[in-house]
Amino acid sequence: MKVRIDIMLKNGVLDPQGKAISHALSTLGFAGVEDVRVGKSIIVTTSEPDAAKATEAAKAMAEKILANLVIEDFKITVL
């Protein structure tokens, strides 16, 4: 089973990487860019055949290691 964990900074948390990209895009002539946020997506392939159990495991991985819950939110999608 393949599961995707999307990790994004929470709203309100400053995203310097996003700001840098936004600035670069404007400088390079892309008009109308209002905001850019950057996140990670982690695709985990497990031997677990059950989608619900794989989601559960991915949630535990995100909470325990992959995401910093103080400043980040995560979302899990079964692929």
Sites of contact with a copy of itself (CB under 8 A): 6, 8, 18, 21, 24-25, 28, 30, 32-48, 57, 60-61, 64-66
CB closer to a copy of itself out of 30 and 51: 30
Sign of CA dihedral 3, 51, 68, 11: positive
Yes or no: say if 9 and 19 are a contact pair by the CB < 8 Å rule.
Answer: no
Rounded least distance, CB 68 to a copy of itself, Å: 14
Rounded least distance, CB 48 to a copy of itself, Å: 5
Rounded least distance, CB 76 to a copy of itself, Å: 14
Which residues make Cβ contacts (< 8 Å) with residue 7, sequence separation at least 6? 39, 40, 41, 42, 62, 66, 67, 72, 73, 74
